[in-house]
Amino acid sequence: MIGSSRLEGADTIVAIATPPGQGALGTVRISGPSARRLALELFRPWRKDPDFPPERVAVSGTALAPALSGDPPPATAKGTSSAGRMEALDHGVLVFFPAAGSPTGEDLVEITLHGSPVVLALFTAGAQARGARQARPGEFSYRAFLNGRLDAVQAEAIDDLVRARTAYQARVAHGQQTGALARAVEPARTALVDWLARLEGSIEFGATDDEDFLQSKDLVSGLAALAASLDGLLAQAGRGLLLNRGVRVVLAGEVNAGKSSLFNAWLERDRAIVSESPGTTRDILEAEVAWEGLPVMLVDTAGERTGASPAAGRDPVEQEGQRRGAAARIEADLVIWLLDGTVSPVVQPPPRVEGEAERLLVMSKADLVVPREATVVAGQDPAVPRAVSARTGDGLDDLKRAALALLAPGWDRRERPLVTRLRQQGCLQRAVTALSEARELAATGAGEELVVVPLGDVLTALADLTGRGNLEEVYDRIFSSFCIGK
């Protein structure tokens, strides 16, 4: 947690901003009042410039780092101590952003070097040796928030964009990053402030024919319009939360029912071993795909032996795999249970256990069953909606659509949900609940001094939505989950 003494950003922070590991390039960020001084001490431009570092101009040069204690000093510094001495570390590019226009609202320096973890760590250590502090998770974005560069929803959107696993997630996060939710809420907030001002004025001075205080009927109708606006935003929360979280779909069924083949077909690669020998899959296999922009974690599980003799399937490894499969079905959002269409009669699945996710029954291996038999087999149970073939791809798109209809009814990736976090949903729910109380009071003719109390709670909830409430709580709930250099 960031201490209160640091909420004002009085010190200078440094962190590696690119992912861990080797790469072509890596970036170090320095933000705070000493950022410009550190640029002068840690970087030597190849082209001399008395105004270095220039504002918002990429400058090529040599990055410096503390000399290793065992290295002899250069000839020009014979007899000097190595304490505090700097030496060339790497070639790189530096950009300086003054506070007035920087992403953090403070002087900010970004240095791009070659992506060696050692090089980046040495450069960061050099900045720390000269007074910078290692940044905490999300502290760069937190300072941007404190300095009015973004609100809490925009900060969450940055985190969502960094973590996006599908193009649809990225587009929704970008919309939030540009302030889409704040813009949607602002008309309601502005109207609410106006009504509160009029009500407070009426309480303070009393209403007269010449004063522009809201009449009771106007207040009731106005609050109804406000409630419709906030209810509309809250109704999006379910879809937005689902997009942010993603779903788990477990493939289950008897041994050799084609689960791994379907798993590979949806991944469009051979991730699971496929064999005609029953019981090939022994453990849980997971891989993520995108269905209409929704992140879906596919889970391949060990096959069951529901219709086998008691002597079958006594292999303890296989039994452990089946136990894990049963646990996966409880953790899932949907279970697709495959019925082997080549087996007659079709082995029906065991009863669902308590807590197990909803099942979607599907007949597999449709390419190995003649059309008449496929129709008969699929018709044995009205819960079997269709037959699929992992080998030919027949029926896979229909199965995906059927699964989406159960997981996310009405899913349409052309829409852009504005509420994607539980925190946002909670703030809007508080606002809607308080507004309902205010509407009830206004409708029953309660005094203005009573109506303003829940309306004030609505305003507080909307302020909390954008993060202008408790700053310590904002950091704990949002920024502490960010990566270090963000």
Q: Which CATH number is 123's domain given?
A: 3.30.1360.120
Q: Which of 407, 432, 449 is the last residue of a domain?
A: 407
Residue 148 located in a structural domain? no
Return the structure tokens found at 19: 């992912």
Range of the domain at 42: 8-74+82-135
What is the total count of domains within the chain? 3
Contact 269, 320 (CB under 8 A): no
C-alpha 457/C-alpha 453 separation (Å) is 7
Domain identity same for 428 and 470: yes
In a domain, 2, yes or no: no
Residues 30 and 38: beta-carbon distance below 8 Å: yes
What does the DSSP assignment read for 110-165? EEEEEE-HHHHHHHHHHHHHTT-EEPPTTHHHHHHHHTTS--HHHHHHHHHHHH--
Helices 167-177 and 237-245: angle between axes, nearest 10 degrees: 120
Domain boundary among 387, 407, 427: 407
Please check whether residue 239 is in contact with residue 260, taking contact to mean a CB–CB distance below 8 angstroms: no
The verdict on 218 and 94 lying in the same domain is no
Separation of CA 292 from chain center: 17
Indicate the pTM of the whole model.
Answer: 0.74
Task: Tell me the C-alpha to C-alpha distance, in Å, between residue 3 and each of 139, 146, 169, 381, 406.
Answer: 12, 14, 33, 63, 46
Each residue's pLDDT, cut to its tens digit, for the chain (486 residues) gives 444 334 444 799 999 999 888 999 999 999 999 999 999 999 999 999 899 999 999 999 999 998 876 554 444 444 333 447 889 999 999 999 999 989 999 999 999 999 999 999 999 999 999 999 999 988 999 999 889 898 889 989 998 998 999 999 999 999 988 988 989 998 888 888 888 887 877 777 665 544 444 556 677 888 888 899 899 889 888 899 999 999 999 999 888 888 888 998 898 866 555 555 555 556 788 899 999 999 999 999 887 777 554 445 567 776 777 788 888 889 999 999 988 888 766 777 888 888 889 999 998 888 887 554 444 454 455 454 578 888 888 889 999 999 999 999 988 888 888 899 999 999 999 999 999 999 898 888 877 788 889 988 998 999 899 876 544 544 455 555 566 565
> Does any domain span residue 167?
no
What is the rounded distance in angstroms from the CA atom of residue 446 to the CA atom of residue 208? 19
Nearest CA among 424, 416, 415 for reference residue 182? 424
